Each structure stands twice: as structure tokens, then as C-alpha cells.
Structure 1
């Protein structure tokens, strides 16, 4: 499967061809969740606290009534059990009102009850599991492969989730899982944010053999595994180097898990910025600040919530700087120097021969779950390979806009 990814606002969109005839719905690619869902119902789809997206022109909603191949999933399916997070496979059927006889025999034909699905940042969706034909592009872009009975959420109302999501986690509901690619893997090359909202420039999302073959130039770090959160992708962060300085050693929590399954660094394309735990994060800020001579923009720091913002002089429309590089050190001696635009980014247009660039890292809020998160912003302009066959993740910096031309 090879599909184009495009950059929009704070994430990356993939187009799903669902139903008969196909309805094209654009959704965010999310490696930090399993469920694939689309907005359903032209008039009735409702999103609370989604004001930033009020003028969002891409939202197409899926209409099951316009697709004869569409049907509700039933309560005895593994997808129904999974979306209800139930340890008891009988539970969704009991909710649907089945008799105990049909529960024991696993013969209840009732529809899977409506679900609610939570996201780490506080988002919530409510909908019903639906099955329909999904069409994906093969290695040859002209060839469409049909996936009958693909299971997804038909969502009528959400909280802070204005756009549908394609889940790329390791659970049974995820898109790679349903396509049979969990023994292989996938790769993506996220475009730089300067291409946000440009529908003409895309980069490839590759799923299957092609994604993990001939990757000898990549640096690979092992996936960390926890039985508590088996469906997510974790790596171990050993430390961070600022410029040519000495390594700031990461806490043990960023490279291993405690008995409750907390710890590790989650790779999550559904989170925009990289988050680091305290006091490690403050140590990084101190190290960065001590080597930067530009004036701070306290006004913009207060307005944006970013912790380090600097006024960079511009001349002849050039705003070059000597801000320090940031290098992430992962397990297996992987050294990943982030492209400059992945760290300090101009948060507005130049004004009075100055442009303000801010560090787009943030502190972790929670003491539970992952100790840190590698967000999509810090994955711009690099190919990231999820080699599920060998349980490792690879990185290779490259110009993703040019990658998309091949």
C-alpha cells in the first residue's frame, strides 16, 4: 500500500476511499491509536470545542446510506470487543441485549453497541462500528486493492477531534492490522510545516514489504515493549546533545518501564510537539539558553506558551541564524541530529527586520503513561521506518518534498 500524505495544520492527512461507490474522506494518520474513524452524517456531525476548524473545507462526511455495501459490525466480532476495551468478550453482546444462551454460543446477531473512544490529550469520539469496502493503492499507483468488510468508526459527535483518524497502532482495529501488515511494517516521510495547507505537495506513506526493505542507510533503535500498553510504539532515549556539547543524560524512565508500565518514549504522529519529563526538560532549556546570545521575546513566550523564543535579525529577506542543533541519542548508539526547522521555528512573518523563532518542545504534563513523546514536528524531513518484523524503528534525515517526486 502506498498512499500520499499531505501536511495540514498540526498533522498529516491520508485519504480513505470508503464505500460503494467510493466516498473520499481525509483523516489524520495517528501512530498513537488503533481505531480508524470518519465523521458520519452530513448535517448531524457535531464537534465540541473545535473553533479553530470552523472554516475547515476538507471535511467530507461519510454517508452509510449512500453505500449499499455498508453494514453495522456485530457484537460478537473481535473489533467490537476491542473498541469497548472489554476483558470479557460477552460484554458488548450483553449491552446489546442478547440472551445468555446466545452469549455462550457466540451466536448473537445484534449490532455492536455504540462506543466512546478517548485520546490522551483529552479528545473523545462517540460512534458506531461500521464495515464497508476500503480501496487502497498498491505499489503501482494505478492499481486499487479492495479490502472488503474493513471495520471503522462511524462517528456522529466528538470533543476536540474535528477530523477523522487512521489508527496505525498494533491493535486488531488498526489499519495495518486489518490489512495484514503487522508482521511487516510501514514508513512515512513527513513534509516540512512550510508545506502546510498545500494540497499539491505530498509525500508517501508506505505499508508492507516495500517500507522495510533496502533500508541499510537508516539508523535503527529497538522498540521497547511493555505488556501494559502493547499496541503502541516506544523507543529508549539515552540523552540529548546541544550543539557540540556534552550529552545531557536522560532519566531511566525514558529508556525503560516501571511495574505499572509507565515510562519509555512514545513515537506518536498524533502529537504535534516532542514532550520531555521534568527536570530533564528544564536541564535542556538551561543548556540551550546558555549558548544563545539573541534577545529573548518574552511577549511571544507568554502569548504562545513556548519556553524559549528569540528575536533573529533579518537582512534582505534572509533570516539565517546560528541557533544550536539538537541531537537525540537513542538506544543502540543511534544519534539523530534534528533538522534545524524541527527545533526552532519562525512563529510569525518577519517584522522590523526581525523574526521570532521558538523552541517547539514542551514539558510532559502527566506522571503516568509514557515518560516522553516524540511528536510529528520533530519527525519532519526524515523517513521513519516501523520495522515490525525485526521490532525496531529506523531514522534517516531527508528532504521529504523531493522524496515525494520519486
Structure 2
């Protein structure tokens, strides 16, 4: 979830940010009858921790789907962007909680403050505009420039860069879009400029194994030269004009994803299915759909309404506060569904009440040391049994958790999406912690967040035409294989 700031506030923000302990949690267009099938990859480099991430040419008629590998890094899912001429491949996070697509940029360097955890990470590829013959700086009068500066006046960005009144009135100022600052959730900030370049995506035709490439000239993205706690670029999948689906022409259709479980992290041979366009929406009537709520405060983000949470196989339902079912008069509330936030966040006092209910139905000893070490609130020492089944038997010893959304939609979290092992078994026991967190933003913004960890092994369908979101538990590894996202 993002809020753009003007240039003059950036130095102040960065100066303040260095002294604060931010939590990195939260971030012509027409319908095209074809689809993109992308692969998301996930490469978890450490055990889970409470630090969560937060003009197209006409398609050839024979192209039906598009495929790119989606891979998992740390606390998110990556998609490769092929930008420039010749192409430079930059891996970026997929983020349904923001609009802007950006890449680390600079012919010499990219500066990232407070990014020590990523210093040895080889994912920090940098895009070089000078190495691309098709690279352009976006102009101050473009709709994207106006959007990134959140201006109600279309001539404001051109005024900032000193255009004359005559050119302002005629809309002919040739000066570039001024640089911007863009913030994420509770602390991430990036600074850069809007650029345009050729984006290439790969597709499959109706003939098996016939891969084609589609070029999108003048794709608009952020060329970022400095950031705070945002070392890896982001592909914005929100509903705004800057988002990747919007610029690809699919915003009136939709997309779906099926995130692989953590056990596939760092596996280079499999990636998570991400489908954009017709294929994502067609033949999905068997899914349970909950309405997509419209936030007056953040209209580009995806919100759903949460009605209750059930713990265990009982009829006892824990009702949620009204703030999780809709918005107040100021536009606060609702439950944000966000691939850029790792763990589900719930507000107080509902969060504490939910923990009490969970405690009352689990009889295993608490692992207090692990709770202190990880800052997760509920950790247990659970018996571990060695077996050759695909189902983790340890998870069956813990109560299932069901989320009840508006429109009578119930989603039982797949095994492993609530409690997760903090390490290898020791003496026939394993420590498992509940990977939920408290929402610490008070009464401002969303009341809760449905994070990507709880979306693993669930097909999530964003039907943008009918403004609804569907859920269906699924073996995402099998889905990836059926989409051709397994390497042999």
C-alpha cells in the first residue's frame, strides 16, 4: 500500500527514518482477449521472522497464453522483467498492494539504506538506462507523471520543472517528469524518476511448445536510484494506471495466483503459477467468491470483508469487529489482501481474543524461548513423527483455522499456513509458531491484512470485471506442473 510524496519531503523522511525502528510490512488501455501465464518463484533464505516485506501492440491472433517463470525470495514472490534494448532481466516482487512498477536503476550504483540483510543477496540486479537504446525519460505532462505526483492539476508536474506558462497552457512542455518519492506501508521509501522502455513478455501459442515474444513499447516504470529498506524492485498489481496489469491491458479482466508452499523455497526447478487475463477468470464458477470492497481512501488496493474466524472443527465462531467488514466514514477499515505482506495481521483487541481461543484448545507445552526469539506470540512444542506421506502429520495435531468472508465464503487454511516449524525436529518434537501478527497501525488505514503466507496452496482469483475475489484450496505444485512451470 503506497502514498507518494513530493521531492521536498524525501530528505526529511529519510533523516527521520534512520532514527526510527520501522517494521517492513506492508505495498490507450483496452481489454485483450488473450492471457498471460507467469511463473512466480520463492526463495526463502532464512526461517520465517516477524519482519515481513509489505500501450501495447496488438497481440498476434495465435497467441493464447503468456508464460514467465514467478520465484520466491525471502518474504515474497518474484517475477522477472525483461526491459530495454537489448533486454536486461531484473527480478522484482509481485505486489498486489501497490501500483508502481520499479527497478533498481543507475549506470553506476543503486543506494539502499538499511538493507544489510540483503548485502550478500545476488538478486540485486540493477537496470542501466544508458545500455538500452530504447530508454526514454517520461515527460512531465504524461498521465503517469500526474498520477505519481498525486496531482489534481495536470500542469503541476510541469510547473515543478519550470515550464513556461505558454507551454503549460498548450500542453507542449518537453521537460521530463520531476523525480518523486514513493512510500510503502510502515517505512519503505524509494526515490527516482519515471522512465519508459520496451517490456518483453513471453507467450505460448495454440501449438504446444511454440513460444512467442510480445513487445510492449514505452512501458512506464520507476527508475529508482535510492531506497530505504526496499532492495528489490516491485511489480505493482494494484488497480491504478501505473500497475503492470493496467499497462498490459488486462485490468478489466483479472488475474490469479497459486503460491507454492515454503518447502519449495530455493528450488530452481519449480515456480508458482500467475495467470493474467481470460484464462485466469474463465471456468472459475466453482470457486467461492467474496465481494471486492471499494476503499475511498485507497481505491487502487484490493479489500475484502472478514466476518468471523473459526478455530478447530467446532461450531464456535469468533466474530470480528465491524472494522474488518467494511469502512468507516473516513475510509478506514476493511481487510487488505496483499501479496507484499507476508503474514496476516489482525487488530486489537480481536487479535488477543483469538490467541486466547487458540490457547484454550491446544494442550502442548508452550515454547516461550522461541516466542521471545522470534517475537511470534504463540509457539508450541509439538510431537514429531517420521513418515513418508506428503502430509505433515505435525500439522494435524494442531486445530484447523477457518476464515469466513462476506457472501458466505469460508476458507480453511491449508495445512502449514497457520503454524510453521521454526527448525528441525529435536528429540521427536518440533517447535511450531502461529504466523499471525497484530495490526499496529491503530485506527488509520486497513483494519487487517490477509498476507501471502496464509495464501499458500490456495488459488486466489481477482475477477476485476465482476469486482470479486475467489478462493480455492489447491496443490500449487501440481498446478505449476500443469502450466509447464516445472523444469526437467
TM range (shorter): over 0.9
Deviation at 1:320, TM superposition (A): 2.0
Moved over 6 A (4+): none
Deviation at 1:196, TM superposition (A): 1.6
1:16 is aligned to 2:81: yes
TM-score, normalised by the number of residues in structure 2: 0.81
Residue of structure 2 equivalent to 1:334: 409
Aligned residues: 406
1:320 to 373, 394, 412: 394
Match of 1:25 in 2: 90
The answer as to 2:401 corresponding to 1:401 is: no
Distance 1:319 1:216, change over 3 A: closer
Q: Is the 8 A contact 1:313 1:319 kept in 2?
A: no
Distance in 1 between residues matched to 2:82 and 2:424, nearest whole Å: 37
Distance 1:147 1:2 in 2: 16
Equivalent of residue 109 in structure 1, options 159, 174, 192 = 174
2:203 pairs, out of 124, 131, 138, with: 138
1:161 aligns with: 230
Structure 1 Cα separation of the partners of residues 76 and 295 of structure 2:
27
Superposed, 1:6-405 pairs within 5 Å as: 6-7=41-42, 8-41=73-106, 43-140=108-205, 142-245=211-314, 246-316=316-386, 320-321=394-395, 322-366=397-441, 367-405=443-481
What is the distance in 2 between the residues matched to 1:91 and 1:297? 56
Question: What value does the CA root-mean-square deviation take over the aligned residues?
Answer: 1.3
- Does the 8 Å contact 1:3/1:136 carry over to 2? no
Q: Equivalent residue of 2:245, what SS?
A: helix
Please list the CA deviations of residues 143-191 of structure 1 after superposition, one character each: whole Å capped at 9, or x if unmatched: 2111110000011111000100000001110001111111100011111
How far apart, CA to CA, are the structure 2 residues paired with 1:177 and 1:74? Answer: 19
Query: Larger deviation: 163-172 or 227-236?
Result: 227-236
Per the normalisation by structure 1, the TM-score is: 0.98
Tell whether the 8 Å contact from 2:135 to 2:195 is kept in structure 1 after alignment.
yes
Shift of 1:198: 1.8
For 2:427, what is the secondary structure of its paired residue?
coil
Contact map agreement 2:347 2:448 (CA 8 A) in 1: yes
Q: Secondary structure at the match of 2:307?
A: strand
Q: Which runs of 5 or more structure 1 residues have no equivalent in the other structure?
A: none
Residue 39 (structure 2) pairs with residue 4 (structure 1): yes
Which residue of structure 1 aligns with residue 62 of structure 2? none
Deviation readout 1:124-146 (Å, 9 max, x if unpaired): 00011000010112354712111
SS in 2 for 1:230: coil
Q: Secondary structure at the match of 1:80?
A: helix
Query: Cα deviation per residue 1:217-240 (whole Å; 9 max; x = unaligned)?
Result: 211000011232110100000000
Stretch of structure 1 that moved more, 54-63 or 139-148: 139-148
Q: 3-state SS of the aligned residue for 1:390?
A: coil
Distance in 2, matches of 1:210 and 1:138, equals 13
Distance 1:279 1:107 in 2: 55
Q: Does the CA contact (< 8 Å) of 2:107 and 2:130 recur in 1? A: no
Of 323-332 and 212-221, the range deviating more from structure 2: 212-221
1:43 is displaced (CA, Å) by 4.1
3-state SS, counterpart of residue 335 of structure 1 = strand
User: Contact conserved, 1:9 with 1:197, CA < 8 A, in 2?
Assistant: no
Aligned to 2:4: none
1:358 positional shift: 0.4
